[in-house]
Amino acid sequence: MDLILQAAIIGILTGGVYALMASGLTLTFGVMEIINIGQGALVILGAYLIYVLEQKLHLDLFVGLLITMPLMFGFGLLIEWAFVRPLKRDRIMLSILVTFGVALVIEGLLGLIFTTDLVRLQAWYTTASFQVAGFYLSYIYVFGFLLSVVLLAALYFLIYRTKFGASLRALMENRTAAQLIGIPVERVSAITFGIGVALTAAGGMAFGATNSFNPGSSYDLISRLLVIIVLGGMGSLGGALIASVLMLVIEDVTAVIWSPIWSTTVFFIVLVIVLLVRPQGLFGQVAGRKQ
Amino acid sequence: MSMLEIRNISKAYGGIQALSACTINVEQGKITGLIGPNGSGKTTLFNVITGYERPDAGAVNFNGTPITNAAPDRVFAHGIGRTFQLTRIFPRLTVLENMHVAAPRNGSMGIFRRWSSAHERSRAIELLEFVGIAHLQGMPAENLSYGQKKLLEFACILIADPQVILLDEPAGGVNPTMTNQLADRIRLLNQRGVTFLVVEHNMEFVMGLCDTVNVMHHGAKIAEGTPIEVRNDPAVLEAYLGD
Amino acid sequence: MKSKPIWLLALLAAAVALPLVFPNPTITTIAVLTVIFAAAATAWNIFAGYTGYIALGHAAFFGTGAYSLAIICQHWHVPADFTPFALLPLCGVIAAVVSLPLGLVALRTRGHTFIVITIAMFFVAQLLAYDLRGVTHGSAGLSLPIPLWSGDFYNMPFYYAGLLILLLALAVSWWIRNSKYGLGLLAIRDDEDRALGLGVKTGPSKLLAFVISAFFVGMLGALWAYYIESIFPPFAFDALFDVAIALMTFMGGIGTLVGPILGALLLEPAQQLFAVYFGQSGWYLVLYGALLLVVILLLPEGIVPTIRKRWAQWTAARARSSPNSPAPAPPLPPSPTSQHPAIAARGEGGER
């Protein structure tokens, strides 16, 4: 029973980090109607950036975020401007291919610089642990979770309490109408994409501090993130949040009571069952038009 | 006799009652009009009849057969064709290809039949000539003007020889010449035995064309009669001018 | 127009003669992989190109085919001669059977959700290949019988088997394109709800196209497995496979008959050359990713539609300058959408 509780707690804590990464993806989708399949590679890039800062400048992981998040935001703007904005037709499909191309380039370059050896971010809180409910928990899980909560709260504030957020929500409702009432659609889209990428920088730090990674780790990540946003409902932030926690808790608990081998499979079975009942995901809107 | 019976249809979206116990009869061989202020539930009613929406209550019968909740393809197979308020054609197919989409497939989804036969082709061109756009047959449909698209959408259904055609604002956004042309075509088809149910805001069009007119307001029928009767009905005036 | 069959025959003869003229194994290896990808892209296009539903999980069927052949060979002690080739259709059928329930679930959704669900399905399949150790041996992989023949001849049977599947897929694609069923698929691509309202059986139509494409991709997976002799989960179920066939199809022209083949002919050899020269180093990924970006930014509409458009503009311009001369016939095979030179007027992509 203790083991299950432990698995559930870790599931919730890591679920928060996944929610952070998935919210960038689902937000980009909601606003721009594109899928940034490079999100996984960008997470890994974010982790390596922090790794470099920590190795060369001995910067604390969280302090490093002050540098990497603006940097990744700028990188996001660049990707949007160079590769996403020029797409005029078949945007869904071409955006997937284009961002996959970006992901391949990132993966290749990371491989050239860092080789494929597994690395892990180090700090006192990644090794030190404390006792709770009868088991030891590394501080990084709590810190990572808190980071996610703070950033998601900031994101919530940005979307629901600012003028920019109002434009962003207008775009999510109806892109054409937003354009007609004078919202600078291109600028809002670019900034949204940038925010999505900046969030992955933070997610990458938390991921890299709790997992060993190499340039190829992005595939596993992007598959999980995609599944999370489908389960939550594409474009739904709350859905992404709940689906992340659900996924990680189901996986961790299955690993404890059955076998780690089946943990992801069980989650996928849950996904298929949900989709059979609600093809649009837990909080998604129905696609297609009647009129 | 009543060909299409719509009985006590109700439909709500969240808290909004789009249709409440709406009852309308479409007589065989007649042109029936359906008018009402914006948001009175006309298009929703069309969607319920043609299977795009499920009603919460009520029944739709066609020639005595219940077709409530039948899927759109089944409804079409029964002989009910419709057009849409926002014209819907297949933009990347040519005009001629558009005409063949509704042609019968006869089992196995038409895998073993060529997309067009000589007979179907001549019939399609005949219908395109009937609405006056045969010269555009090789053109991708997306290049047509708005009015031409409406004509194509109309001709598209005719290839399946439907018994009833539901038209959702056929004259909306179309110039008067084309409106008259369309009214002519509808009359001609009606003389050949096709029944019509027409939603339209253009009163002149409705009054000049329809045998009976139903008036809807807040999701229910509030009046029915000949165009002249309806025009002088105080309840109708109130619906349009009131609120 | 009369020269068309001659051109096709010449192309076919060139394809048949290729490994005889260039028996160099480096070249024939590239040729084998190119016909496999050309066939896979053609099969993918039957579903994705015609219905407009972008599926990015066909690697699941490729892997299913590959593992089917490996498992069948192990269980029945299939000899390492031409027998495995005879088993390819069976592997295709297995992949098709697997695709049926997956298609039923995925095709309840549309657009973006459909894409992402197919990707998720692919990852499930890959995961199962790792986890069902009893049948797949997990990450240890499976070996297939090693063919008895060798030397310069080694690639030949694989090349011709691949070419045969390619021709078959092309024939099916052509047949569907010209059938009532195919017109229904194209109508679904343009406006699914309207198509349903005009009597197109949209659900079964989409599913059938999905299953047909899975059948071909499964056969190709099996052929590929026999060719490379041993298979492992990350290679049999490879995310790059989906991206590659989608990219080839887009590059050549999605929804066109020969576009996918054209894309494969250009991209697969390029990819193989990168692999030969840069091997395992990261440059391979960098170059491939950059190639992908360049192709999409320069040719967003695909080669075949771009050429058609240019050609029609050119003939229209010529017709204007000399009104009495008859317009020359277009050189491309007249697909149902292009029987009229008015294609010139075709605007920038329509709404879906």
Interchain contact, A108 vs C300, CB within 8 Å = no
Report pLDDT for B87: 86
Report pLDDT for A291: 35
Mean pLDDT of B31-43: 89
Looking up residue A93, the CATH number of its domain turns out to be: 1.10.3470
Interchain contact, B110 vs C184, CB within 8 Å = yes
Host H or E run for residue C250 = helix C239-252
Which residues are CB-neighbours of A229 under 8 A, at least 6 positions away?
A22, A25, A26, A29, A239, A240, A243, A281, C116
Task: Give me the sheet containing B2-13, strands edge to edge.
Answer: B16-27, B2-13, B57-62, B65-66
- C neighbours by CB contacts (3+ pairs under 8 Å): A, B
The reply to whether A273 touches chain C by the CB within 8 Å rule is no
Confidence check: pLDDT of A270 > 60: yes
Structure tokens at A96: 């997937």
Put simply, the chain B residues between 26 and 55 with a CB less than 8 A from any chain A CB are: 43, 47, 52-53
Over residues A7-16, the pLDDT tens digits come to: 888 889 989 9
What band does C342 get if pLDDT is binned at 50, 70 and 90? Answer: very low
Over residues C243-280, the pLDDT tens digits come to: 889 989 988 999 999 999 999 999 999 888 888 887 76
Interchain contact, C199 vs B73, CB within 8 Å = yes
Distances (CA, A) of A138 to A130, C157, C171: 6, 58, 61
As a residue count, chain A comes to 291
Cβ-based contacts of A290 with chain B (< 8 Å): 47, 52-53
Comparing alpha-carbon positions, the chain C residue that sits nearest to A79 is: C293
Whole-number average pLDDT of chain C: 85
Q: What is the DSSP string of chain B?
A: -EEEEEEEEEEEETTEEEEEEEEEEEETT-EEEEE-STTSSHHHHHHHHTTSS--SEEEEEETTEE-TT--HHHHHHHTEEE--SS----TTSBHHHHHHHTS---SGGGTTSBS--HHHHHHHHHHHHHHT-GGGTTSBGGGS-HHHHHHHHHHHHHTT--SEEEEESTTTT--HHHHHHHHHHHHHHHHTT-EEEEE-S-HHHHHHH-SEEEEEETTEEEEEE-HHHHHT-HHHHHHHH--
Which residues are CB-neighbours of B129 under 8 A, at least 6 positions away?
none
Over residues C108-150, the pLDDT tens digits come to: 888 777 888 898 888 888 888 988 888 888 888 899 988 888 8
Of the candidates B50, B75, B131, the one whose C-alpha atom is nearest the C-alpha of residue B98 is: B131
Report pLDDT for C329: 42
Interchain contact, A268 vs C127, CB within 8 Å = yes
Beta strands in chain A (DSSP E): 129-132, 135-138
Greater confidence (A17 vs C338) lies with A17
Cβ-based contacts of B111 with chain C (< 8 Å): 176, 179-181, 208
Of the candidates C254, B88, C185, the one whose C-alpha atom is nearest the C-alpha of residue A92 is: C254
Mean pLDDT of C176-201: 94
Host H or E run for residue C143 = strand C142-143
Three-class SS of residue A136? strand
Q: Are the CB atoms for B94 and B69 separated by under 8 Å?
A: no
Q: Are the CB atoms for A99 and A36 separated by under 8 Å?
A: yes
The reply to whether B86 touches chain A by the CB within 8 Å rule is yes
The reply to whether C132 touches chain A by the CB within 8 Å rule is no
Confidence check: pLDDT of C325 > 70: no
Cα separation of C349 and C316, whole Å? 20
Q: How far is B229 from chain A (nearest CA, A)?
A: 31
Report pLDDT for C3: 61
Mean pLDDT of A158-175: 86
Distances (CA, A) of B240 to B41, B215, C14, C109: 14, 10, 74, 41
Cα separation of B23 and B25, whole Å? 7
Of the candidates A99, A124, A26, A56, the one whose C-alpha atom is nearest the C-alpha of residue C292 is: A99
Confidence check: pLDDT of A176 > 50: yes
A236: domain range?
Answer: 2-277
Whole-number average pLDDT of chain A: 86
Confidence check: pLDDT of C186 > 50: yes
Confidence check: pLDDT of C97 > 50: yes
Mean pLDDT of B82-89: 90
Domain assignment present for residue A105? The answer is: yes
What band does C333 get if pLDDT is binned at 50, 70 and 90? Answer: very low
Confidence check: pLDDT of C340 > 70: no
Domain assignment present for residue A284? The answer is: no
Over residues B110-137, the pLDDT tens digits come to: 888 888 888 999 999 999 999 989 999 8
Interchain contact, A291 vs B43, CB within 8 Å = yes
CA dihedral A158, A163, A169, A170 (to 10 degrees): -170
Chain Cα centroid distance, residue B125: 22
Put simply, the chain C residues between 172 and 231 with a CB less than 8 A from any chain B CB are: 176, 178-184, 186-187, 189-191, 193-202, 204-205, 208
Over residues B179-228, the pLDDT tens digits come to: 888 899 999 999 999 999 999 888 888 888 999 999 998 888 888 999 88
Confidence check: pLDDT of A290 > 60: no
Q: How far is B87 from chain C (nearest CA, A)?
A: 10
Greater confidence (B118 vs A260) lies with B118
Cα separation of A167 and A178, whole Å? 8
Q: Are the CB atoms for C179 and B111 separated by under 8 Å?
A: yes
Report pLDDT for C309: 83
Q: How far is C199 from chain B (nearest CA, A)?
A: 4
Residue C269 burial (C-beta neighbours within 10 Å; 0-12, 13-18, 19+): middle
Mean pLDDT of C58-64: 96
What band does A87 get if pLDDT is binned at 50, 70 and 90? Answer: confident
Q: What does the angle CA C129 – CA C130 – CA C132 come to, to the nearest 5 degrees?
A: 70
CB pairs under 8 A between A and B: 8
Report pLDDT for B243: 54
Mean pLDDT of C321-345: 43
Distances (CA, A) of B220 to A3, B11, B20, B240: 61, 11, 5, 14
- Please name the amino acid found at residue A39: Q
Interchain contact, C180 vs B115, CB within 8 Å = yes
Rg for chain B (alpha carbons), in Å?
18
Strand partners, A138: A129
Interchain contact, C194 vs B84, CB within 8 Å = yes
Structure tokens at C42: 């053609």
Rg for chain A (alpha carbons), in Å?
19
Q: Are the CB atoms for C41 and C34 separated by under 8 Å?
A: no
Domain assignment present for residue A287? The answer is: no
Report pLDDT for A229: 87
Domain assignment present for residue A291? The answer is: no
Structure tokens at A208: 């890299």
The total of structural domains in chain A comes to: 1
What band does C350 get if pLDDT is binned at 50, 70 and 90? Answer: very low
**How far is the first Cα of chain C from the last one, in angstroms, to the nearest whole number?**
33
Report pLDDT for C326: 45
Three-class SS of residue A138? strand
Cβ-based contacts of B47 with chain A (< 8 Å): 290-291
User: What CATH superfamily is the domain B2-107+114-241?
Assistant: P-loop containing nucleotide triphosphate hydrolases (3.40.50.300)
Cα separation of A167 and B13, whole Å? 27
Q: What predicted TM-score, i.e. pTM, was given to this entire model?
A: 0.86
Cα separation of B43 and B196, whole Å? 15
Cα separation of B46 and B170, whole Å? 14
